[in-house]
Structure 1
Amino acid sequence: MRLSSADGATVELRPTRYQFDLAEVSAGARDWDANWLVLDGAIRLADGRAWAFTDPSLTTFEARQLTVWLRDVIDGRVDPAPVIGGSDDEADAGRLRTFLEPSLAFSLAARDGQRVRLRVHLSLEALPPWHQDPDGPDRPRFFEYAVELDTTIAALAEAATTWETEITNFPVR
């Protein structure tokens, strides 16, 4: 899935494989461990800075939940949220589409007619290299760092369809 912004920023996410082969997964942990997906992410900011990451960021269940969330944004069923991320406020949880692994989250910044501003929140392994130092003074807290994308509903629908197609290669096991 490729999300592109009017200012030139892009976020690409692609599921590439399961984290573990079924033979590697213990019987007791099969539901979760068998369903972790490794994502390749490629991010380019409007100012031209770019980075990539490869990380087991979502389960197969969550990948399908992301499709539902994107469709809900398209259909106007997700309310825009004020600037969020980086706080310990429990209210952030209700305004973010989060997942078990906190390296990735989504929120809707604004909606205006046929345009939306979507935030892709990046933490941990998905952060840009200049924020990777875990002891660095400028390391963002969970979900504080976000790439904001100004896009059309039609482009978001195309990205959601692409994502839905890509995850069909990774059924729930």
Structure 2
Amino acid sequence: MALELRASHGHSLRLDIVGYQFPDGTVDSLNWLLIRFTVQVPGQEPWTKVDPSLETGELLSLARWFENMGTVDMRGPRPGYHFLEPNLSFSLVPVKGGKRRLRVHFDAESRPPWAPPRGQGAHSTAWVEFPLEEVDPKAMARWAHEEHARFPAREPPWD
């Protein structure tokens, strides 16, 4: 199952969880998941990358963030969700007219080849975004829950 987002202005994103980074498990990477990003922005070639970008437990936190992103107060700092690895993150950004957009950031090993040089601050300069009214937070949360069921946290065999 994939998470697919498309914006009327031409941005698209597909996230697939390929599997555990090390299917047999190791001490330091037992629960890291390989994520395939497929990204399209107008005027650029589609870009695909596979990278270990999040752990199994982070999927549940991401599901909760997706469930609540429509009700986040935009008066404070830019609300976002960041994983332990900086490759992928999500944020909500205000736009004119009191609307908001979901922005998906790519950084570190997951920066696309067309991205401008990395900027300063907490968020990457490589991103795609989607008007909040064009995404379904409940479906996004369902995807994260279903993927967590497919790839649950694994306990070390030596416990």
TM-score by length of 1: 0.73
Which of 109, 121, 136 in structure 2 is aligned with 1:125? 109
Q: Which residue of 2 aligns with 1:19?
A: 21
Q: Which residue of 2 aligns with 1:134?
A: none
Aligned length: 148
Q: Which residue of 1 aligns with 2:86?
A: 102
Deviation string for 1:64-84 (max 9, x for gaps)? 11111101113x0x23379xx
Q: Is the 8 A contact 2:7 2:134 kept in 1?
A: no
Deviation string for 1:73-123 (max 9, x for gaps)? 13x0x23379xxxxxxxx77xx3311111011110113899x741010110
Q: Which residue of 2 aligns with 1:163?
A: 144
Q: Is the 8 A contact 1:43 1:50 kept in 2?
A: yes
Counterpart of 2:123 in structure 1: which amino acid? F
Q: Which residue of 1 aligns with 2:12?
A: 10
TM-score by length of 2: 0.78
Alpha-carbon shift at residue 39 of structure 1 (Å): 0.3
**Which residues of 2 match residues 8-157 of structure 1 at below 5 A?**
8-22=10-24, 24-26=25-27, 29=28, 33-74=29-70, 76=71, 78-80=72-74, 95-110=79-94, 116-131=100-115, 138-141=116-119, 143-145=123-125, 146-152=127-133, 155-157=136-138
The answer for unaligned runs of 5 or more in structure 1 is 83-90, 132-137
Greater shift in the superposed pair: 115-124 or 58-67: 115-124
The answer for unaligned runs of 5 or more in structure 2 is 155-159
Counterpart of 1:51 in structure 2: which amino acid? W
The structure that is helix-richer by fraction is 1
Counterpart of 2:103 in structure 1: which amino acid? R
